[in-house]
Structure 1
Amino acid sequence: MADDRRCFGALLNGLARRNYLGDTELTDELLKEQIYPKMSDEDFQQLVTKCTALTKSMVSVDMDFNQLEAFLTSQMHKKDSGMNEDKANAVRKFWKNHRTKIHETQVQQTMWDTSLKQMSWRVDLKTQSKNNDHVNAPTAIIELQLSNQESQNENQKPELLQFEMDEKKLDQFMKSLNEIRDEISLHRKEQN
């Protein structure tokens, strides 16, 4: 049974490398030849389909280990899943070793163009102005470090964007950020 667990884990690793980590040289034929050479082509394709669906379920929700345990338990109770304790152990080991790398790859693939790397701010008081109404008015100075997705090598310096906001614009900005936070919270509650 340890051999079955090892082979099942190797198939999960190979499929993850191909489907999520960009190793296009890992074809079904190569995986079958290396891992399950005695299995029929039809049985191997069914196993690949099951493993692909299994990893897709885990990746799509970025399962934590509690969710993984519940998922594996439900799989073992399904008669047609083929999941047993040895295969479940292979899945646990696979997910422990690959979860972070797959997640980071998925995030990189879904990012568009520019991303926010860092934000800093300070509040200044104007001491001089053409209009006396603006003297001693607080102004928020915001600096954003932006990084382009294509130019994320270490030699590329991030783009700096700096701007000022008066109290009214800062209130509008904070209201928008709170709306975004509320939407994210609502989305998280729906997923759980």
Structure 2
Amino acid sequence: MADQESRNLLGLLNGVAKYTYYGDNEVTNEFLKEELYPNISEDEFQKLLMKHTGLLKSIISADMDYNQLAAFLSSHTKKREGGITEEQAAVYSKFWKNHKVKIHDSVISQSTWNSTLKSVSWRIDLKTQARHIDQLHTPSAIVELQLTNGNGCDKKEADVVRFEMDEEKLTNMISSLEEIEKQISSHCQ
């Protein structure tokens, strides 16, 4: 019987993930109740659903690694009221192992509105044509940024931005990036 309960809980977690994070509109709470828990009342099912959805949201919002998950589940197995069993903790571990990356990517995708940097490429060229002779054969950096449009659509279009920098501009940009790195490092420690 415990094996069937574990399968039902795994099915419930998969169903919640499908309609909450993967956008599957065919899976509903009513469908999950009919398929997995037909013998319990609507109130009992709602309590069960709220409990496990809450635990799942806690795991997802913290983007727990496996050590954090183990500690989190261990603390919930020790609770007297509202806790979970060892078997249920094993189901959560199995579920998270199979869905962590996909759910993480889905949450990131759903929460990105602006364009994101997809790739950067650059090269150094020498100018072979110029208005003034002193500008010939000076090195310049040609930078290409590929941006993915993240406006909430499923279809992500890519924009390419190209620009050129001379040695002075490149030096200024590198020093600015180093300053940003120092600031980030100082706030992370």
Residues 67-122 of structure 1: CA deviation (Å, up to 9, x unaligned): 21111111112222331110011111111111121112112222224332221111
Give distance in 2, aligned partners of 1:51 and 1:17.
Answer: 14
Superposed CA deviations along residues 22-80 of structure 1, whole A, max 9, x for unmatched, are 12232222211111111222221111111111111111122221221111111112222
Find the counterpart in structure 1 of residue 5 from structure 2.
4
Q: Secondary structure at the match of 1:62?
A: coil
Q: C-alpha distance in 1, partners of 2:88/2:128?
A: 70
Match for residue 173 of structure 2? 173
Aligned residue number for residue 130 of structure 1: 131
TM alignment of 1:109-188, pairs within 5 A: 109-131=110-132, 134-149=135-150, 150=153, 152=155, 158-178=158-178, 181=181
Distance 1:182 1:88, change over 3 A: farther
Moved more, 108-117 or 64-73: 108-117
Structure 2 gaps of 5+ residues are none
Question: Which residue of structure 2 lines up, in the alignment, with residue 35 of structure 1?
Answer: 36
Give runs of aligned pairs for residues 65-104 of structure 1, distance below 5 A. 65-104=66-105
Work out the CA distance in 2 between the residues paired with 1:186 and 1:23: 43
Amino acid at match of 1:115: T
Structure-2-length-normalised TM-score: 0.83
Cα distance, 1:133–1:53 mapped onto 2, change above 3 Å? farther
Q: Cα deviation per residue 1:124-158 (whole Å; 9 max; x = unaligned)?
A: 233554345544543211012233344747xx7x4
Alignment TM-score, normalising by the size of structure 1: 0.81
Per the alignment, residue 16 of structure 2 pairs with 15
Superposition deviation, residue 3 in structure 1: 1.4
Question: For structure 1, which segment, 56-65 or 113-122, has the greater mean C-alpha deviation from structure 2 after superposition?
Answer: 113-122
- Taking the aligned partners of 1:101 and 1:2, their CA distance within structure 2 comes to 26
Matches of 2:70 and 2:37 in 1, distance apart?
A: 27
Q: For the residues of structure 1 that align with 2:148 and 2:70, how far apart are their CA atoms?
A: 37
Q: 1:74 to 1:133 in 2, by over 3 A?
A: farther
Following the alignment from structure 1 to structure 2, what is the Cα–Cα distance between the partners of residues 26 and 178? 49
* CA pair 165-65 structure 1, distance change in 2 beyond 3 A: same
RMSD value over aligned CA atoms?
2.6
The answer to whether residue 64 in structure 2 is matched with residue 63 in structure 1 is: yes
- C-alpha spacing 1:36/1:179, structure 2 compared with 1 (3 Å): farther
- Deviation track 1:137-189 (CA, whole Å, cap 9, x = no partner) reads 43211012233344747xx7x433211112332234334444555566677x5
**Which segments of 5 or more consecutive residues in structure 1 lack a partner in the other structure?**
none
Q: Which amino acid aligns with 1:108?
A: S
How many residues align? The count is 186
